[in-house]
Structure 1
Amino acid sequence: MKQTWRWFGPADPIDIYDLPQVGVQGVVTSLHHIPPGTPWTKSEIRQRQAEIAKPTPQPTGLNWDVVESLPVSEVIKTKGTGYAAHIAAYKESLHNLAGCGIQTVCYNFMPVLDWTRTNLAARMPHGGTAMAFDVVDFALFDLFLLARPSAEDDHSPDIRQAASARFNAMDDTAHASLVNTVVSGLPGANDSWTLADVMTLLDLYKDIDTNQLRANLIDFLSEVVPVAEEHGIRLCCHPDDPPFSLLGLPRVMSTTADYEAVLSAIDSPANGATLCTGSLGVNPEFDIAKFVQRLGSRIHFAHLRNTLRQGPADGDKISFHESMHLEGETDMVVAIRALLQEESRRKSQGRTDWEIPMRPDHGQNILHDLHGDSLPGYPLIGRTRGLAELRGVMAALTANL
Structure 2
Amino acid sequence: MKQTWRWFGPKDLVSIDDMLQAGVEGVVTALHHVPTGEVWQPAEIEERQARLAVMKDGSPSGLTWDVVESLPVSEDIKRQTGDWKRHIDNWKTSMRNLRAAGLEVICYNFMPILDWTRTDLAYRLRNGATCMRFDAIDFAAFDLFILDRRGATEGYVPEIVEKARDRLATMNDARRQELTGNVVFGLPGAAERMTLDDVKTHLAHYDRITPDQLRAHLIDFLAEVTPLAEELGMRLCCHPDDPPFPLLGLPRIMSTEADYKAVMDAVDLRANGITLCTGSLGARADNDLPGMMSRLGDRVHFLHLRNVALEEAHLGGSFHEAAHLEGNTDMVVMIAAILAEEARRQAEGRADCQIPMRPDHGQDILDDQNRKAQPGYPAIGRLKGLAELRGIAAALAHPAAVAGRQLSS
User: Do they fold alike, i.e. is TM over 0.5?
Assistant: yes
In the TM superposition, 1:362-401 aligns within 5 A as 362-399=361-398, 400-401=401-402
Q: 5+ residue gaps in structure 2? A: 403-409
Does the 8 Å CA contact 1:71/1:190 hold for their aligned counterparts?
no
SS in 1 for 2:280: helix
Distance in 1, matches of 2:308 and 2:71, equals 25
2:370 partner letter: H
| Matched position secondary structure for 1:363 | coil
Aligned to 2:34: 34
SS at match of 1:34: coil
For the 8 Å contact 1:52–1:64, the answer to whether it is kept is: yes
Deviation (angstroms), 1:380: 0.5
Paired residue for 2:339? 340
* Distance in 1 between residues matched to 2:168 and 2:33, nearest whole Å: 35
Q: How does 1:285-324 map to 2 (within 5 A)?
A: 285-311=286-312, 316-324=315-323
Cα distance between partner residues in 2 of 1:317 and 1:190: 29
In 2, Cα distance between the equivalents of 1:111 and 1:217? 11
Q: Which runs of 4+ in 1 moved over 2 A?
A: 188-191
Q: Percent same amino acid among aligned pairs?
A: 56
User: Using the alignment, how far apart are the partners of 1:166 and 1:292 within structure 2?
Assistant: 39
TM-score, length-normalised on structure 2? 0.96
The AA in structure 1 aligned to 2:352 is: D
Unmatched tracts of structure 1, length 5 or more: none
Alignment length (residue pairs): 399
1:170-189 aligned within 5 A:
170-188=171-189
Matching residue of 1:229: 230
- CA offsets per residue over residues 261-303 of structure 1, 9 Å max, x none? 0001000010000000010011111111210121101000000
Match of 2:247 in 1: 246
| 8 A Cα contact 2:33 2:190, kept in partner | no
Q: Say which is worse superposed, 47-56 or 195-204, in terms of deviation.
A: 47-56
What amino acid sits opposite 2:368 in the alignment? D
Deviates more, 1:89-98 or 1:371-380: 371-380
Is 2:256–2:287's contact at 8 Å kept on the other side of the alignment?
Answer: yes
Tell me, what secondary structure is at the counterpart of 1:93?
helix
Contact 2:74 2:84 in 1 (8 A): no
Match of 2:133 in 1: 132
Alpha-carbon offset, residue 188 of structure 1: 4.0
Q: Deviations over 1:16-51 (max 9, x none)?
A: 122111101000000000111001011000000001
8 Å CA contact 1:184–1:194 kept in 2: the answer is: no
Q: In the alignment, residue 159 of structure 2 is paired with which amino acid?
A: D
Distance 2:254 2:189 in 1: 18
Q: TM-score, normalised by structure 1?
A: 0.98
Distance 1:14 1:290 in 2: 34
- Residue aligning to 2:352: 353
Q: Distance in 1 between matches of 2:306 and 2:232?
A: 31
**For residues 29-178 of structure 1, what are the structure 2 equivalents within 5 Å?**
29-54=29-54, 57-178=58-179
2:372 and 2:106 map into 1 onto residues whose CA distance is 28
Cα shift readout 1:316-348 (whole Å, capped 9, x = no counterpart): 312100000000000101110000110000000
Confirm or deny: 8 A CA contact 2:18 2:379 kept in the other structure: no
1:186 positional shift: 4.9
Q: CA deviation at 1:189?
A: 5.2
C-alpha distance in 2, partners of 1:328/1:171? 32
> Does the alignment pair 1:201 with 2:214?
no
Residue 104 of structure 1: CA displacement? 0.4
